[in-house]
Structure 1
Amino acid sequence: MIEIAFAELVGALQGSGFPGNGTDAFSIPADPGFFVDPILVAKEGMNDLEAEVILVSARGAAGKSRTATELASRLEAPLWRLEKDAAVGKAALPLALSSYCGTVDAIGELGSRPRATVLIDSLDEARARVSAQSWDEFIEAISEAGARGLTLILFGRDRTLEEVWLKLADDGRTIAWLEVSHFPTASQKRYIDGRVQERDRSASVDGPYYTHARDALLAALAGSVDDGTAETFVGYAPVLDAVATVLLDEQNHYKLAQEFASSTSGSRHIEVLRGILHGLLERDQSKLAQLAADLGLAADAVYTPKEQVEWLWHDLGRVSH
């Protein structure tokens, strides 16, 4: 397993951005605000940051779209948000890019530069919205753009990107594959403090009771799993978000610290973990509800609760159901 710092990815792509006529779906993001660099993990043999196509996957709610926005902002490169654009097919990328650049053949012109990068997010939503033929033609257009010198960074879930990888590899594209993994121990407290202040600007994160409560929560959650997986589990964004929520909701931080530092507080750990899982399920339900509405389907018919739990288990545990 090869870990890659987010700053290393930014450095490898520095200077590959370019300005244009942005739209809501295709533009350089404005400064997205608070962000803590996550750890990226490269799949075996797929860590070449000079590759024509870079795939970026993540577990559910790990911050994939937020990472895409931050990366595009730092590079000053256009980010194509497919959830805001229904046009996915063979002509979609050439048309969107040419419109952005105000030219007829943007891919050909950009391909003559040392490096130009376009980021594409929400491949999962796009895949579910279009026919198999349109999807295949869309991936074919991405492959052709890569062959002509445009660097593409694609963000999606593992299952979608596996299909994309097979098609691009068959076409002979060079491919890197990174996963937004977790926040390292040194960044976890900064992430929690930032999330607390983002939600409540008046909140203080410097007082001893607050810091003791935060540290006790982290230690208790780390102690609820095996030592070998503690950092990746506690550093998972929804876990840190849950810690921030507890710190915001319960203002008696002295009591909170005592409660989680106590050896008898195991049931409370389970309560926090349950809240994390509940939040993940609700997040996926809200995304599916919007997709179902777009397709004219009943939201509760997209897939059953049992299927949703199986997908969640696959994302969290990396196991087949």
Structure 2
Amino acid sequence: MLTLENFWLPLLGNATASPLKEVTGWFAKIPALSTFVEAPLALNDELTNGHDAREAKVLLISAPGAVGKSTLAKEIAARTGVVYIDLAIADAVGANTISGGLAKSGLFNDWSEQRTTLLIDGLDEARLRVTQEAFEAFLRDVASLCIDRHLPVIMFGRTGAVQDAWLVMESLVSVSVLEIGYYDLDTAIDFTCAQLENTREGSSHPEAERNAIALLLEKLRDETKSDGTTFSGYAPVLQAVAERVAKEPNPSALIASVEKGEKPVTLQTVVAAILERERSKLSSITFDDPALNNQLYTPDEQLLRLVARVIGGNQPSSMAMSSSDAKKYDAALSTWVPEHPFLNGRDQPSSAVFEAMILVTALLSGTTSETAVKTQLARGAAANPFLADFYYDAITRDGSRNVPPEHLGIVYSSIRARLAIGETANLTVEVDESASEEEALKADVEISVVKKGLVKGQLIQFSTDQVGTFYLGSHIEDVLMTAPLSRVEIGAGTEATLVAPVDIECGNLVINASKLVVEGPVGHRFGSVSLVADNYQGGIVSVPAVRNETTLSVIWPGARSHPWTNFASEVRVAKDARIEEALRRFRKFVIAFRSHSKGSLARLKDKLDHERMTKGTGQAVLDYLVKHEIIATDGTMYYLDPDRLGSETGATYADCVTKNFQAKTIAFIEKAIG
């Protein structure tokens, strides 16, 4: 790694300069930052052409947005004494920007005698303010001034601007390209502590604050571990952590709350900080209408522009402004958007977290929602693990807490993508049978998540609409869906996989695949899949492959024909309507249980005690199941004993899923309801 001590000071440490005459954007003395912590800096082998960085005439320093280019540039200038030029505020660049500036500033003699050199920051800002021809003329001017010098000129910019500069300059002068990396954990902690110290004077508990920062960063890295150090190595991310700790009067209490599983620093607040930082670039543009600085390039606008590049579609329309201002803004956008820190320079998200924010924006935008759904369904089990966080935050903030049926499968897949071995998640979609006609069009959604080391699982609840299409994708696991008015689509390719338990009852079922695989959950003895629909259509041409001890049951008109013949079932209806209703309650209680820790079948007690479950004959059935020790409770959870379920009722979990109730089961229910 190249550092101030081993690279910059030996290379530039003897630079001196006479006092400067005033030239906009040129500075002879830059104050050092008390909060400065070095990020990794390394040579880019691809663009160096074998040049030794210590012998190069021009050093191009590249990094994505928000990594800390300007911070490093100013610190180098402060520590070495070279002249710092900020192109974001300097005059527009052209053919004699540097040669003319050397004369205007009074630096020409110092330059000619090689007593000083220049550190030029803001290549990307300079590029957006001029034509490509003027920008290249500026670069050639710099190259011509460097040919016979031993002190290099250093130029900082985002990836695209640095690549453009290299293309122009590498044939004219020896050029080396260096890249700024992301902070590793130890350095990130140092940086965050320095930022914290900068927010207020002194601290009565610095050790506790450092411990809190370390813990928060570790948790954040755990959330984004698929990105390595990229996301949690961003300076704005670390600044957000510093701000969180600065607002906490008792850092020890913060540590305790984090260790309990709370998330005081979220992905949402981190992303917001980066977007706001990007928006601050507007200050480099002088608009005819100053009010535009507060109205343009908002976080929402940035995200919509990123959606257009990543997902497709039209860029959002800009607000009304003069032709002059529109021209300036369009020029800025042509650089800012392609080099946005959320992108990798190739119109693709630079991390899974940034991708999640872009996808959520696309899903919630009417013009791109359908395309976003299709692209995510095609990913199958390889869903984005952060999409659900941003999505749930968005629907909670707008107060709706309603997820369109088209999005539900994508959100659930995202949650499952975060699970470790031994952790579980399940999706339940149910309709209130006694609801009014209008409310009957709604459905309640519950996603239950059980994580390692947590006694109580996480319960995520919201609503959806029955009238619509539930796209569940090609990999479906642990789903209970009762939505008789809905359309459900399974699959998005050649093969669809159903991992038990899966129980789907709907109006119309579509399987968009030619092959169907049904299998049981890993490490558990129960595996039942039931598909019930008023109408079925699909492309399954071969007999479904049912693996292990899993059972598959299908019920719809024509189910006894190939390839479903071996799996077709019939719904047995009891002669007594009251018994029929009690059997439905019995079934709902049993199949409500899901895999919990150490292979047990469990459910939150509040779930089964809810009025929706206990209404009618439900309470009598539940009480009878508890009395016969088929269901037991520890106060917060109910647990199902499958052995007693079989011995007392004559039914298995699979029988309940497939509604295969025998005489012994019916007799048990008759006794339960008296």
TM-score normalised per structure 1: 0.84
**How big is the shift at 1:57?**
1.6
Deviations 1:234-253 (A, max 9, x none): 33211211110110122232
- 5+ residue gaps, structure 2: 310-336, 348-674
Checking the alignment, whether the CA contact within 8 Å between 1:59 and 1:315 is kept in structure 2 is yes
Helix, strand or coil for the counterpart of 1:256?
Answer: helix
Match of 1:51 in 2: 56
Pick which of 53-62 and 38-47 moved more: 38-47
Question: 5 Å matches for 1:1-321?
Answer: 3-22=1-20, 23=22, 25-34=25-34, 35-45=36-46, 46=48, 48-103=53-108, 107=111, 109-110=112-113, 113=114, 116-149=116-149, 151-171=152-172, 173-204=173-204, 206-208=206-208, 210-226=209-225, 229-230=228-229, 232-262=230-260, 264-265=261-262, 268=263, 272-288=266-282, 290-291=284-285, 293=287, 298=292, 304-305=301-302, 306-308=304-306, 311=337, 315-316=341-342, 318=344, 320-321=346-347
Pick which of 310-319 and 119-128 moved more: 310-319
Query: Given the superposition, is the C-alpha separation of residues 4 and 190 from structure 1 closer, same or farther in structure 2, using an over 3 Å criterion?
Result: same
Helix, strand or coil for the counterpart of 1:178?
Answer: strand
Query: Given the superposition, is the C-alpha separation of residues 225 and 42 from structure 1 closer, same or farther in structure 2, using an over 3 Å criterion?
Result: same
Q: Could you say which structure has the greater relative contact order, defined with CA pairs below 8 angstroms and 6 or more residues apart? A: 1
Match of 2:577 in 1: none
Distance 1:206 1:226 in 2: 28
Checking the alignment, whether the CA contact within 8 Å between 1:56 and 1:178 is kept in structure 2 is yes
Pick which of 23-32 and 66-75 moved more: 23-32
Checking the alignment, whether the CA contact within 8 Å between 1:314 and 1:320 is kept in structure 2 is no
Query: Given the superposition, is the C-alpha separation of residues 180 and 204 from structure 1 closer, same or farther in structure 2, using an over 3 Å criterion?
Result: farther
Pick which of 197-206 and 139-148 moved more: 197-206
**How big is the shift at 1:74?**
1.0
The letter for the 2-side match of 1:169 is: E
Helix, strand or coil for the counterpart of 1:307?
Answer: helix
Deviations 1:240-291 (A, max 9, x none): 11110110122232232122223x43xx26x522112111111221212542
**How big is the shift at 1:116?**
4.3
Pick which of 63-72 and 179-188 moved more: 179-188
The letter for the 2-side match of 1:253 is: P
Distance 2:120 2:236 in 1: 23
Deviations 1:83-141 (A, max 9, x none): 221141111101212233454x765x24xx4x742100111111111233321211110
Distance 2:291 2:98 in 1: 28
Checking the alignment, whether the CA contact within 8 Å between 2:17 and 2:110 is kept in structure 1 is no
Helix, strand or coil for the counterpart of 1:159?
Answer: helix
Query: Given the superposition, is the C-alpha separation of residues 248 and 302 from structure 1 closer, same or farther in structure 2, using an over 3 Å criterion?
Result: closer
**How big is the shift at 1:207?**
3.8
Distance 1:301 1:239 in 2: 23
The letter for the 1-side match of 2:346 is: S
Query: Given the superposition, is the C-alpha separation of residues 157 and 220 from structure 1 closer, same or farther in structure 2, using an over 3 Å criterion?
Result: same
**How big is the shift at 1:157?**
0.6
Aligned-CA RMSD value: 2.9
The letter for the 2-side match of 1:307 is: R
Deviations 1:49-73 (A, max 9, x none): 3211101122222211111111011
Query: Given the superposition, is the C-alpha separation of residues 199 and 135 from structure 1 closer, same or farther in structure 2, using an over 3 Å criterion?
Result: same
The letter for the 1-side match of 2:274 is: L
The letter for the 2-side match of 1:157 is: R
- 5+ residue gaps, structure 1: none
Distance 1:207 1:101 in 2: 49
Checking the alignment, whether the CA contact within 8 Å between 1:16 and 1:117 is kept in structure 2 is no
Checking the alignment, whether the CA contact within 8 Å between 1:39 and 1:180 is kept in structure 2 is yes
Helix, strand or coil for the counterpart of 1:11?
Answer: helix
Distance 1:25 1:290 in 2: 12
**How big is the shift at 1:80?**
0.9
The letter for the 1-side match of 2:223 is: S
Distance 1:147 1:253 in 2: 55
Helix, strand or coil for the counterpart of 2:95?
Answer: coil
Query: Given the superposition, is the C-alpha separation of residues 56 and 80 from structure 1 closer, same or farther in structure 2, using an over 3 Å criterion?
Result: same
Distance 1:294 1:52 in 2: 40
Distance 1:289 1:194 in 2: 26
Distance 1:294 1:18 in 2: 40
TM-score normalised per structure 2: 0.42
Count of aligned residue pairs for this structure pair: 307
Checking the alignment, whether the CA contact within 8 Å between 1:21 and 1:27 is kept in structure 2 is no
Query: Given the superposition, is the C-alpha separation of residues 200 and 302 from structure 1 closer, same or farther in structure 2, using an over 3 Å criterion?
Result: closer
Checking the alignment, whether the CA contact within 8 Å between 1:80 and 1:119 is kept in structure 2 is yes
The letter for the 1-side match of 2:41 is: L
Query: Given the superposition, is the C-alpha separation of residues 151 and 294 from structure 1 closer, same or farther in structure 2, using an over 3 Å criterion?
Result: farther
**How big is the shift at 1:77?**
0.6
Helix, strand or coil for the counterpart of 2:170?
Answer: helix
Structure number with the higher strand fraction is: 2
Distance 1:316 1:302 in 2: 14
The letter for the 1-side match of 2:18 is: G
Query: Given the superposition, is the C-alpha separation of residues 255 and 317 from structure 1 closer, same or farther in structure 2, using an over 3 Å criterion?
Result: farther
The letter for the 2-side match of 1:229 is: G
Helix, strand or coil for the counterpart of 2:285?
Answer: helix
Match of 2:524 in 1: none
Checking the alignment, whether the CA contact within 8 Å between 2:25 and 2:91 is kept in structure 1 is no
**How big is the shift at 1:16?**
4.7
Distance 2:344 2:121 in 1: 22
Distance 2:159 2:297 in 1: 20
Distance 1:91 1:226 in 2: 48
Identity value in percent? 25
Distance 1:318 1:30 in 2: 31
Pick which of 186-195 and 53-62 moved more: 186-195
The letter for the 2-side match of 1:38 is: A
Helix, strand or coil for the counterpart of 2:73?
Answer: helix
